[in-house]
Amino acid sequence: MRRVVVTGIGAITPVGNDARTTWDSLLKGKSGIDLIKSFDTSKHTVRIAGEVKDFQPEKKINFKILKRLDRYAQLSLWATMEAVEDAQIDFEKYDRAEIGVIIGVGIGGLIIWEAEHTKFLSKGPARVSPLFIPMMIPDMASGYIAIHWGLRGPNYTTVSACASGAHAIGDAFRAIKYGDATVMVAGGGEASVTPFALAAFSNMRALSRRNDEPHKASRPFDKDRDGFIMSEGAATLILEELEFAKARGAKIYGEIVGFGATGDGYHMTAPAPEGEGARRSMERAMKEAGCKKEEISYINAHGTATPLNDKFEAKAIKDLFSGYTQKIVINATKSMIGHSLGAAGAIEAAVSCWSIRDSVVHATVNLENPDSECAGLDIVRDTPRELKINYVLSNSLGFGGHNASLCFKHYSD
Fold of 258-408: Peroxisomal Thiolase; Chain A, domain 1 (3.40.47)
Amino acid at 199: A
Structural domain boundaries of the chain?
4-247, 258-408
Question: What local confidence, expressed as pLDDT, does residue 218 receive?
Answer: 98
CB count, 10 Å around CB of 272?
21
Please state the φ and ψ torsions of residue 205, each to the nearest 5 degrees: 65, 35
The candidate with the shortest Cα–Cα distance to 23, out of 304, 255, 395, 333, is 333
- The CATH homologous superfamily for domain 4-247 is Thiolase/Chalcone synthase (3.40.47.10)
CA-CA distance, 151 to 309, in Å (whole number)? 38
Q: What is the pLDDT of residue 413?
A: 81
DSSP3 helix / strand / coil % (the chain, rounded to 5): 40, 25, 40
Mean pLDDT of successive 10-residue stretches along the chain, which has 413 residues: 96 98 98 98 98 96 95 98 98 98 97 96 97 97 98 98 98 98 98 97 97 98 98 98 98 98 95 94 98 97 97 97 94 98 98 98 97 94 96 97 98 89
Q: Are strands 296-300 and 233-241 parallel, antiparallel or unpaired?
A: unpaired
pLDDT for res 187: 98
State how far the Cα of 94 lies from the Cα of 73, in Å rounded to an integer.
Answer: 25
The catalytic residues are: 162, 302, 339
pLDDT score of 1 = 83
